[in-house]
Amino acid sequence: MTTVHDVPADVLIQRLSDYMKGNIRELMPPEWAAVVKTGSHVERAPQNPDWWYVRAASMIRKLYLNGPIGVARLRKEYGGRKRRGAKPAHFRKAGGSILRTLLQQLETAGLVEKASTRGRVVSPKGRSLLDAMSGQIKREMDRDNPDLKKY
């Protein structure tokens, strides 16, 4: 059975974000999402108008791979380098409001569920969606590149 481990992350995230944008009504960017920065380490708001769905797809993939994850660990995962001009750069965590809102929306959609006090995990419905999407991508990759089958 094909899982998320068997397909490239960028292809899966793009395909999953397109699916979420068209089919999951609970996942809607709030009105402030068009102007907000994703953390103190970035200089501007995201340029991609569908960044909300891309971040949601990336988060559900991280939850699938790394088990129960909370907002604090996701802030660290999505953080980055804060450029401070002539001074040395330092790491800064990402903003938590975006991640928290996305987790709540994914939970409302039934793709994610709480794992007691340890964070959130992918629900069986979300796991099924990711596995089905991965299987579809793997079949397309095998059809397009038959030489890669032996690996």
Rounded to 5°, the CA angle 115-126-118 comes to 15
Other CB atoms within 10 A of residue 74 CB: 25
Instruction: State pLDDT tens for residues 87-120.
Output: 999 999 999 999 999 999 999 999 999 988 888 9
Considering the domain 4-144 in this protein, what is its CATH number?
1.10.10.10
In the predicted model, what is the mean pLDDT of the chain? 91
Residues 103 and 9: their CA atoms lie apart, in Å, by 20
Going through 78-134 in order, the beta strands assigned E by DSSP cover 80-84, 87-92, 112-114, 120-122
Residue 13: the pLDDT is 95
How much is the pTM?
A: 0.90
Distance, first Cα to last Cα, the chain: 16
Which of 38, 62, 66 has the alpha carbon at shortest distance from 52? Answer: 38
The letter for the amino acid at 110 is G
| Mean pLDDT by groups of 10 residues along the chain of 151 residues | 90 94 90 91 91 95 92 94 95 94 94 89 94 93 80 64
Extents of the domains making up the chain = 4-144
pLDDT for the residue 116: 81
